[in-house]
Every structure is written in C-alpha cells, then in structure tokens.
Amino acid sequence: MNNQDLREKEMEEMIRKAGEGLEVPEGLQPESIRKNLRKRRGVVLANRKKQIRRWCVAAASVCLLCGCGVVWTIWGGRTTSDHKISGTVDQGTGNADHGTDLQTTGEPEKLTYAEDYQEVYRTIKKIAKRNTRVYENIAEDMVSGEAAVDIDYYAFDGVKEAAVQKEEEAVTSKSHSETNVSVEGILEADQVCTDGEYIYRLRERVDGKSFLEIIKADGGKMELTGKYSCGNEISPKEFFLAGDQLILLSTTEHPKGLSTVITFLDIRDRTKPVKTGKLTQTGGYSQARLQEGYLYIVSGNRAYYEKDIEQDDRQEEESLIPCVNEKPIAASQIYIPSGCDETFFTTITSVDLDDTKQFADSRSIMASSEYLHMTEESIYFTTNQWMDHSFVKKNKQVTTKTLITKFSYQQGKFSGKATKQIKGSVRDTFAINEYQGNLRVISSLSYNKGKDDNAVYVLDEDLKIIGSIEHLAKDERVYSARFQGDIGYFVTYRETDPLFSVDFSDPQNPKILGKLKIPGFSEYMHFYNDHLLFGIGLETSNDGEREAVKLSMFDISDTTNVREVHKILLKDISYSSALYDYKSVLIDPARNIIGFDGWETYTDDLQYFVYSYDEERGFVRKMKHNLSDRFGMIRGLYIEDTVYLVDLSSISLEAYDFNSGKRVGRYQKK
C-alpha cells in the first residue's frame, strides 16, 4: 500500500460515515461504474481492483454532495507505484501561504529537524484536531451549498509509479533487456528481470501465495532452477538482482500498522536461494533504488492520533514515531516542514550491500510523497497539497501546491538541504528533472473556478526559483514529460494533444520553442535517438471519447517545429499497462524493440505486441499474440533474439523468436 492508498483509505472512512443513509443513484452504482470503465478502457477486471474502488469512492462523494446540497471539486491527478487523484484535501495548515495567494518568489526553507519527540507529538495532535475542524467546516459548506460541484472524468486517469527522469538513453546494444529505469546508473526494483542466463520472476498465485522463481532460459528451453517462498504473512512488491544476491521488498501488517520488510537472499547456488538477513522499517513499501553498492528504500505511514490518549501515555505516543528495525528514528532525523498539514511520515533508509545486518542511515519527513526523483548526488520528494479550504472558498486563486523536499547523499549518508513550495501539482513521474545542478519542474495549476493551466519552474541547488513560465496551455493538463539536455518536452491534453518543446539553456529565462497539436495524447514518452521521440497514449474523438491506443514517433531534430512523422492506431485496443507503468514497457532503441500489452475494448482479451521502427516505413509489427487465457499481468523481456512473455500470476512463460514472431518454447510445470 503506497502513500496515496493510505490517504484514500482515510478519505473513504470519512465519506462512508458522512454518507450513511444516503441512497446511491443507479448510474453511480458500482456495477454501472464497472460498465463505464469497461467501455472506456477495456481493462481486465482482475487488474482494476484499485481503479474500481476509487471510482466507487468518487461515486460515494458525488452521492454525499448531491444529497447534502453540495460543495466539492475533484481535481485530476495521476502515483506510482497506481491510479490516484492528485493532491490531498487541505487540512487547514495555518501556513503563511494561506493568508495570500501562494507566491513563487518566497525564499526556500532550510531543512531543520525536530528538537525532540515532544515536538513531533505536539505536531501530530495539533494537526489531528485541526483536521477534525476542517472536515466539519467542509460538511457545513455542503449543507449550505456554498460551493459548486465540478467533477472531471480525467481525475481518474492513469497513474505512473514514483520514479526519476533519465537524461539520455544508452546506445550500446545489450545482449538482454534491463528494467526500464530513469537515470542511467541508478537501478530500480521490478517484478521480473534477467541477467542474460536466468529469468527472475516474482509470482503471486491466485491463492495468494507468492514466490521468487529462478528459471534457466536457453532459447526455447526453459526450466525452473530455484524457488523461494515469500511466506503467507507478507505482501511482496518488487525485488533487486545484485550480482549473486536477490533483495526482496515487501509490505507486512502488524497490530501497529504496516511495515516494509527487506529480505536478502544468497543465490550463488541458483538451485537453493538462502535467506541471509532481514531488515524492517515503518510504513508500507513505496519504492527503492540501487546505486554504487547502496540500497535506498522509501516507505510511508500515517500516524493515527486517538483523542483518548492521555497526556502522560508515553507508550502510546512513542508508537507514533517511525521505526527502523523496531527502534524509533531519532528526533534529530525527523523533519517537520513549515506549515505541516498531515500526520503522514515518509521514511527513507539506506543499506550498504556489504553489511546487510543494519541500516547505514535513515531519515523521516512528516509529509507524504507522490514522486521521488533521485540523481547521483540528490534526492527530491514531491508532495501535492491543497490550499487552505477557507482561503480557497473566499479567493479565486490556485487551489493546489507542491512541496519539494531535497536531500543530498553520499555513500548511504543523508544530509538535509532545503524545501520549497511551488504553485500547482506535479502530475507526472517525468515532470521533475535535475540538470547541471538546477531542478526543472512542470506543474499543473487548478483554480477555484475549475479552470486549469500549467507552469514551468527552474530551481537552483538551494531550491530558489530562478526562472519560470506561467499560464501555459489554458484548460489543459500535463499528461507526460521528458527532458534531454537543455530541452524539455511535455504533453498536455483536453481536446487536442499539444506537445510543447522548452529551451532551458538559460535557466533564468526558459522559453517555449514550439508546440504541436494533434488528436489524443501521449501518456509515456521515450527518446528513441538524438532526433526521435517515441510516445504511447490514446487517440480520442472530437468529443473526447477514447478510441484506441496510439503509437507516435516525433521528429525533434528541429525543436522549434516538432513533427509527428509516424503513428499507428490499435483500433480494438483501448488500454495498456504502458499508460500508467513505464516499467511495463519493453523498449530498447539500440535493439529497435518496443513491447507492451493491450486489452481489447469489448472482449477484455489480453494481447502482447512487439514493434520495431523504420524511419521510412514507420512502425513495423513483429509480434502480436492473444493471451486471453491469462489471468494476470504479462511482462516482456528479451535475451539475444528471443522474446520471453512472463506471466506474474500463473506458471506460464513463453519464448518467441524476435525475427519470425513464432513461438519457440513454453515453460510447463513438471
């Protein structure tokens, strides 16, 4: 469960209590919503539990609002590791920014840590009590009908797991595929990978039991070599392959909440994985990175303050503090942002892979984290927030803001740098990027009257804003972004798909170079070479109805005149994991391979596609295979000229020849 899941759980409970006794209209019944989702996306229901749950939350919200006379605006957003609504309901922070419109010219704040645990306790209690008052104020406004309903379908669009931006793609041809990461040299955890000889798969069976499997791959010949049972009490999420070591990252539940479990496995003998150690930290697993022999793990948890806790109940108070290996993090390592407005902790730890018996360092921030951007020296967390409810109601101003928190790190040791609030919300994993010491951010702004626009900000190494472009793409929202050196590209969408190119060569004066408007939009972009930019997204009709998954290739050789030189529409496919999970895309420009899954609109049949690209002919389909008998998620990878389709829930694993597209083998359990 990630940060957004925990916030939604709390919101669900609030909505449930407030909406007891209200009759749900037929059109907003869960089954009607499912039909609407099936029509629009064609997603396998088994893979949409979270999406359906969140539509139901929205439906409950609508019912509550309609039944009371109503006040609410749901603003759009897109989290990692899941579909989400961007930002959090503002909880009456009392921040100085709430007295006037949020200014981008304010000075960044240096990171300072709590003086003692008592400061942390006082902050949690203060926020918990304030939240109660804010929810009561919202309920009063609903009854009085002082605000308008403005629910946008795009608030429920796809999300992309938290990750960092990749500057340039490697051009060296590899013998096997690697996890689609963001910064070269910084590895990201995944559910499947290969070292060119073995395939490693995290598989969850339909009965809920999970295994880490090691499968010998030799062209069409495949056999199970080794297997590790993950146990019944934990929920495995991802893993790393680090030489002769597998690192399993899981979430487990206990009476005090969720914990992240890091399990280390020795696989020098691939037939017998041996557990060598385990570490734990408070909060559900969010994401992880591996860089220069150090593992970095991020988790998140909410501290629930109960009103009946006595002032001197130190045992209960201590339970609110995040722990590493069952020991509370020192107060001197807990950062409380100015104007902190939520009782949520994001914890980041590090582990030296030469000493996996203990954590090398740890820090905790009293804020949630939508996205993580990690470079070779810096770590950035972004937190989407809402402006103060009473302020927004009285002023026709921006309703959302983003808190950016920066740490520097070296050999596993963290050092707090600064924090800064900017207008709007970061809505895409790749919309935040560090280059030559400066941070480039693309932000989407929502306003009290329901209109949107966007902004580009450049922040220096101390997070002071040194350049900006505001009021871009009125009534549009950012859907994808990518940076390459001094140039940034981002896609916004409402009715057409403007692809903007931005020049950051002068950080203090970023400039829009050009924009291209075409139907539909790209949800994910990837540099194919120095003059081509690949995009995968959705083609839409004039009325905004989603018609097909679309592959686009843009010529960016002239940054002032970006052109869509080729596109292909998959007419019967209306959904793909690639629209929200960049790790699901098998892409290697050096090998000229693009692989992804897709669901047929009305049958829910699962397909897997592999394309190559020719600069004259455009996209060339190499493979299309119907996997309608598969229940779970399919991931593609390659070793030499063999493409493997790996099922993450069933035993199935199939091998295909990349050149002919013919199946050359299938793994069968013996």
Q: 312: buried, middle or exposed (CB in 10 Å: 19+, 13-18, 0-12)?
A: exposed
Residue 626: pLDDT band by 50, 70, 90 thresholds? confident
Question: In this structure, what is the dihedral angle of CA atoms 128, 131, 136, 140, given to the nearest 10 degrees?
Answer: 170
**How high is the pLDDT of residue 518?**
78
Q: How far apart are CA 345 and CA 331, in angstroms?
A: 13
**How high is the pLDDT of residue 12?**
46
Top pLDDT among 401 and 448 is at: 401
User: What number of other Cβ atoms are within 10 A of residue 315's Cβ?
Assistant: 8
Q: How far apart are CA 8 and CA 3, in angstroms?
A: 9
Q: Is 101 inside a domain boundary?
A: no
Q: How far apart are CA 406 and CA 454, in angstroms?
A: 23
Top pLDDT among 167 and 281 is at: 281
pLDDT mean across residues, the chain? 77
Across the range 32-59, mean pLDDT stands at 38
Identify residue 211 by its one-letter amino acid code.
F
Strands of the sheet containing 198-204, edge to edge, are 192-194, 198-204, 210-218, 221-229
Identify residue 471 by its one-letter amino acid code.
H
**How high is the pLDDT of residue 645?**
95
Question: Do 214 and 69 reside in the same domain of the chain?
Answer: no
Structural domain harbouring 542: 156-667
Across the range 56-60, mean pLDDT stands at 39
Rank 31-40, 181-190, 418-427, 491-500 by mean pLDDT and report only the highest. 418-427
Report the chain's C-alpha Rg in angstroms.
24
Top pLDDT among 601 and 95 is at: 601
Question: Are the CB atoms for 101 and 395 separated by under 8 Å?
Answer: yes
Q: Is 253 inside a domain boundary?
A: yes
Across the range 19-23, mean pLDDT stands at 40
Here the tokens at position 170 are 């490697």
CA 227, distance to chain mean position in Å, is 29
Q: Taking the chain, what is the end-to-end CA distance rounded to the nearest angstrom?
A: 35
Identify residue 267 by its one-letter amino acid code.
I
SS (H, E, C) 416-476: EEEEEEEECECCCHHHEEEECCEEEEEEEEEECCCCEEEEEEEECCCCCEEEEEEEECCCC
Q: Is 106 inside a domain boundary?
A: no
**How high is the pLDDT of residue 49?**
35
**How high is the pLDDT of residue 497?**
61
Q: Is 599 inside a domain boundary?
A: yes
Question: Do 343 and 396 reside in the same domain of the chain?
Answer: yes
Q: CA dist 199 to 203, 263, 468, 643, Å?
A: 12, 19, 46, 12
Q: What is the CATH number of the domain that holds 376?
A: 2.140.10
pLDDT at residue 18 is higher than 50: no
pLDDT at residue 70 is higher than 60: no
Question: Do 166 and 151 reside in the same domain of the chain?
Answer: no
* Token pair 């993950």: residue: 230
**How high is the pLDDT of residue 205?**
81
Across the range 247-274, mean pLDDT stands at 94
Question: Do 495 and 573 reside in the same domain of the chain?
Answer: yes
Rank 12-16, 141-145, 264-268, 400-404 by mean pLDDT and report only the highest. 264-268
Please tell me the total count of domains within the chain.
Answer: 2
Candidate from 93-97, 144-148, 264-268, 610-614 with smallest mean pLDDT: 93-97
pLDDT at residue 572 is higher than 50: yes
Here the tokens at position 198 are 């073995």
Across the range 205-209, mean pLDDT stands at 80
pLDDT at residue 266 is higher than 60: yes
Put simply, whether the predicted model's pTM sits higher than 0.75 gets the answer: yes
**How high is the pLDDT of residue 600?**
87
Question: Do 179 and 66 reside in the same domain of the chain?
Answer: no
Q: 115: buried, middle or exposed (CB in 10 Å: 19+, 13-18, 0-12)?
A: exposed
Question: Do 84 and 172 reside in the same domain of the chain?
Answer: no
pLDDT at residue 245 is higher than 70: yes
Question: Do 242 and 262 reside in the same domain of the chain?
Answer: yes
Largest CA distance in the chain: 75
**How high is the pLDDT of residue 279?**
98
Q: CA dist 433 to 101, 189, 479, 608, Å?
A: 26, 20, 16, 31
E strands, 556-660, in order:
563-570, 573-575, 586-588, 593-600, 606-614, 618-626, 634-639, 642-647, 653-657
Q: Is 462 inside a domain boundary?
A: yes
Candidate from 246-250, 481-485, 625-629 with smallest mean pLDDT: 625-629
Question: Do 141 and 167 reside in the same domain of the chain?
Answer: no
Here the tokens at position 340 are 């902190």
pLDDT at residue 281 is higher than 50: yes
**How high is the pLDDT of residue 333?**
96
Identify residue 54 by its one-letter amino acid code.
R
* Percentage of the chain modeled with pLDDT above 70: 71
Q: Is 43 inside a domain boundary?
A: yes
Candidate from 35-39, 89-93, 213-217, 574-578 with smallest mean pLDDT: 89-93
Question: Model confidence over 518-551: pLDDT tens digits?
Answer: 777 889 999 999 999 999 998 877 665 667 999 9
Taking CA 398 as the corner, what is the angle to CA 394 and CA 402, rounded to the nearest 5 degrees? 130
**How high is the pLDDT of residue 515?**
86
Question: Are the CB atoms for 556 and 564 separated by under 8 Å?
Answer: no
Contacts of 462 (CB under 8 A, 6+ apart): 108, 417, 418
Residue 493: pLDDT band by 50, 70, 90 thresholds? confident
Question: Model confidence over 356-402: pLDDT tens digits?
Answer: 999 999 999 999 988 999 999 999 999 988 765 555 555 557 778 89
Helix 49-68 / helix 3-18 crossing angle, nearest 10 deg: 40
Question: Are the CB atoms for 301 and 281 separated by under 8 Å?
Answer: no
Identify residue 348 by its one-letter amino acid code.
I
Q: What is the DSSP letter of 195?
A: -
Question: Do 137 and 170 reside in the same domain of the chain?
Answer: no
By DSSP bridging, strand 149-151 and strand 72-74 are parallel
Top pLDDT among 649 and 313 is at: 649
E strands, 460-545, in order:
465-472, 477-484, 487-493, 496-503, 511-519, 521-529, 532-540
**How high is the pLDDT of residue 10?**
44
Across the range 25-54, mean pLDDT stands at 38
φ/ψ of residue 591, rounded to 5: -90, -10
* Token pair 């929205």: residue: 58
Question: Do 252 and 140 reside in the same domain of the chain?
Answer: no
Question: Do 402 and 275 reside in the same domain of the chain?
Answer: yes
Q: How far apart are CA 442 and CA 371, in angstroms?
A: 13
Candidate from 150-164, 178-192, 326-340 with smallest mean pLDDT: 150-164
Q: How far apart are CA 270 and CA 273, in angstroms?
A: 6
Contacts of 189 (CB under 8 A, 6+ apart): 179, 237, 238, 239, 240, 247, 249, 287, 288, 289, 290
By DSSP bridging, strand 274-282 and strand 573-575 are unpaired
Across the range 65-75, mean pLDDT stands at 30
Question: Do 148 and 180 reside in the same domain of the chain?
Answer: no
Domain boundary among 155, 181, 197: 155
Q: Is 410 inside a domain boundary?
A: yes
Question: Model confidence over 159-187: pLDDT tens digits?
Answer: 222 222 333 333 455 799 999 988 778 89
Top pLDDT among 261 and 309 is at: 261
Contacts of 6 (CB under 8 A, 6+ apart): 284, 300, 301, 302, 344, 368
pLDDT at residue 414 is higher than 50: yes
H or E segment and range at residue 413: strand 413-423
Helix 30-41 / helix 49-68 crossing angle, nearest 10 deg: 130
Question: Model confidence over 633-649: pLDDT tens digits?
Answer: 899 999 999 999 999 88
Q: How far apart are CA 204 and CA 215, in angstroms?
A: 16
* Percentage of the chain modeled with pLDDT above 90: 50
Q: How far apart are CA 583 and CA 560, in angstroms?
A: 30
Q: Is 99 inside a domain boundary?
A: no
**How high is the pLDDT of residue 451?**
77
**How high is the pLDDT of residue 55?**
38
**How high is the pLDDT of residue 307?**
52
Q: How far apart are CA 402 and CA 367, in angstroms?
A: 11
